[in-house]
Chains A and B, each alone.
Chain A
């Protein structure tokens, strides 16, 4: 009797295990095949030497990583570090701009009747359903030498005559902020939607107004959304390829383009692989650091209820 029961339990737990594998299996296979495996291959390639055509060949070497750090036959060159710093700066500015644009937009949407809010959100998300390349080409025109904005920039002596705002760093930042704005708005909206307005009233009751009121009552409550938004914007913007490629020109090269170049124009697979690995490591470290920060700040957030 008891033995029979036991086997039944075993069968049941076996079924559960099977169900678990069947349901999560395809996802796991996908991740293994298309994410982990290529990364592993990439990591491997990074330790090879490059032949004349840039393809990986033996012997194994750490030269690609030395190249990443800026060392070459010609000695040390800060070019890569400058590109990484520039990528950080442009992604950072784009993130800041999208955050600054998102706050008023989110509260504008929240001030509309509840029935039309989903529609307004849809308008914000809608453009990202069309191809990024197409939209970025549009920005090339909008900021190009013939664009009215560029004339204004001429008058203000921001750009030399005959040149537009694109290509250039301003165009890259604009393009990145535009492209990733929805990824800031959506999490921020989710956060702002459940804002406890009584806390805002408490702030007013205790003599706060204007920016100070926002800073002490609204900002802490929307921080979780803002932090998610920063992750969703900063990380892809940091590694973006299309925007700096189309709007950047030579002077706004970012790490994404640098990597792409190693597999296209001036092939050097091991170097490109090493660059990718370094970028992944930095991104991972950034995420971990951010997670710690979010946890720390999140402790206060749980207290809302």
Chain B
């Protein structure tokens, strides 16, 4: 890129003009007669990043993706791709390619013609086109299907063709709209890894839309969690999972124990389960959250009685999940705590319903979240 355009009239952070970087500024999209599908979203996506938009269906994540692709026009706000304003750039002129949820392969074209479609529309010579198409088919191991029609392919193969059709154009950004949602669990896990490998290898920016928190955790560099048209939290995977900003993010990204708290000191508060110590400084009433896998379970006789946040109770449910077991433990006061323990030493560390246990909530693992 040349030197940044000097006379940009807008304020805000400097625009990244790097190929593949995306700036979204105050984007709003309102569908006729309804609330805003996307409501004043600001978002910076770095070049070469695997970014996931995560949220329940109807949260606006697909609408946001479609505005980046150019299929929807924002009612307010701006989108910049690789530093270029996209307002007057129609979908067919954007250096962006989409992998659709339904794959959207052209039924009247075979696999290689589907993949070469974009290059053909851009006027690339057949010989050069064939070279590019062949090499991407080899990369995705779909060369043997080159002359088949899309109808003769399995779901996983179609997915690879759809991905190849986007990647072959070497776009600045690849948009993926729940591309794995129609596949079975095993194939899905395989393709997740393959997608990641492709993205790291080619260095393109990937924007991935999903409602599956597990998928988001596995694949992303950063996650943006959306709800009702707004971005609730944006950050690296670890931050969003471990330090959710609010109750919605905490609950959407996994299991959690959440209690309202009233401070009784700078590092102690009253919660429904009793008095708890919290490492983070407290300022007022709020919510406290702890992930189930961060709770230690002891046989009640072996509990380290000198530690803070030790509670005694009885196992009410034990759900075996293979690698781990999920327990619901009813505390003496009647409140329940959800805890997950790995099954690495099954003999000593598994508890049956009815067994008395102690749980420890380490103060540093208790996070403050907003309601």
CA distance A203 to B150 in the complex (A): 16
Question: Beyond A201-B71, A206-B169, is A303–B149 a contact (Cβ under 8 Å)?
Answer: yes
B149 contacts across to A, CB distance below 8 A: 299-300, 303
Q: Which residue of chain A is the closest to B169 with respect to CB atoms?
A: A206
Sorting the interface of chain B by its residue count into under 10, 10 to 19, 20 to 34 or 35 or more gives 20 to 34
Q: Assess whether B92 is in contact with A204, with CB atoms less than 8 Å apart.
A: yes
Asked whether, in the complex, the Cβ of B70 is within 8 Å of the Cβ of A204, the reply is yes
Residue interface mask A212-238, B partner, CB < 8 A = 1? 110011001000000000000000000
Contact B104 A202 (CB under 8 A): yes
Q: Are B108 and A204 in contact (CB under 8 A)?
A: no
Q: Tell me whether A302 is interfacial, beta carbon within 8 Å.
A: yes
Chain A residues near B117 (CB-CB < 8 A): 203, 206, 208, 216
How far is the CB of B285 from the nearest CB of chain A, in Å? Answer: 48
Contact status A206-B97, CB under 8 Å: yes
Interface residues on A, range: 20 to 34
Q: Which one of A207, A217, A300 has the greatest number of beta carbons of chain B within 10 Å?
A: A207
CB distance A207 to B92 under 8 Å? yes
- A37 near B: Cβ within 8 Å? no
User: Interface code B298-328, partner A: CB below 8 Å = 1, 0 otherwise?
Assistant: 0000000000000000000000000000000
Q: Contacts of A297 on B, CB cut-off 8 Å? A: 108
Q: Looking at the assembled complex, report how far the CB atom of A295 sits from the nearest CB atom of chain B, in whole angstroms.
A: 14
Which residues does chain B contribute within 8 Å of A196, judged by CB atoms?
102, 104
Q: Is the CB of A302 within 8 A of B122?
A: no
Q: Is A198 within 8 A of B102, CB to CB?
A: yes
| B121 contacts A208, C-beta separation under 8 Å | yes
- Which residues of B56-100 are within 8 A (CB) of A? 69-71, 90-93, 96-98, 100
Q: Does B151 contact A (CB under 8 A)?
A: yes
Interface residue from A199, A204, A217, A302 paired with B151 (Cβ < 8 Å): A302
Verify A202–B92 contact, CB threshold 8 A. no
- A304 close to chain B: CB less than 8 A: yes
Whether A202 lies near B70 (C-beta < 8 A) is no
Chain A residues numbered 262-305 whose CB sits less than 8 Å from any CB in chain B: 297, 299-304
Q: Are A216 and B106 in contact (CB under 8 A)?
A: yes
Q: Please state if B98 and A303 are interface contacts (CB–CB under 8 Å).
A: no
Chain B, 88-132, contact with A by CB distance < 8 Å: what is the 0/1 string? 001111001110101011111000000001100110000000000
Q: Are B106 and A207 in contact (CB under 8 A)?
A: no
- List B residues 121-178 near A (Cβ within 8 Å): 121-122, 149-151, 165, 169
In the complex, what residue of chain B is closest to A297 when comparing beta carbons? B108
| Distance to closest chain A CB from B252 (angstroms) | 27
Of B96, B107, B122, B169, the most chain A CB neighbours within 10 A belong to B107
Inter-chain contact A204/B71, CB cutoff 8 Å: yes
Docked complex Cα distance between A196 and B90 (Å): 20
Given the known A-B contacts A206-B165, A207-B93, are A300 and B107 also in contact in the complex, defined by CB atoms under 8 Å? Answer: yes
- CB neighbours (8 Å) of A162 from chain B are none
Cβ of B98: which chain A residues have Cβ within 8 Å of it? 201-202, 205
Q: CB distance B106 to A202 under 8 Å? A: yes
**Residues of B close to A206: CB separation below 8 A:** 92, 97, 117-118, 121, 165, 169
**Besides the known contacts A199-B104, A220-B108, 7 further A-B residue pairs in the complex with CB atoms under 8 A apart:** A204-B91, A205-B98, A205-B118, A206-B121, A303-B107, A303-B149, A304-B107
Question: A residues near B, CB below 8 A?
Answer: 196, 198-199, 201-209, 212-213, 216-217, 220, 297, 299-304
What are the nearest 7 A-B pairs in CB distance? A303-B151, A303-B107, A206-B118, A300-B108, A202-B104, A207-B121, A204-B91
- CB<8 Å pairs between A and B, sample of 8: A198-B102, A201-B104, A206-B121, A209-B90, A213-B92, A216-B117, A297-B108, A303-B151
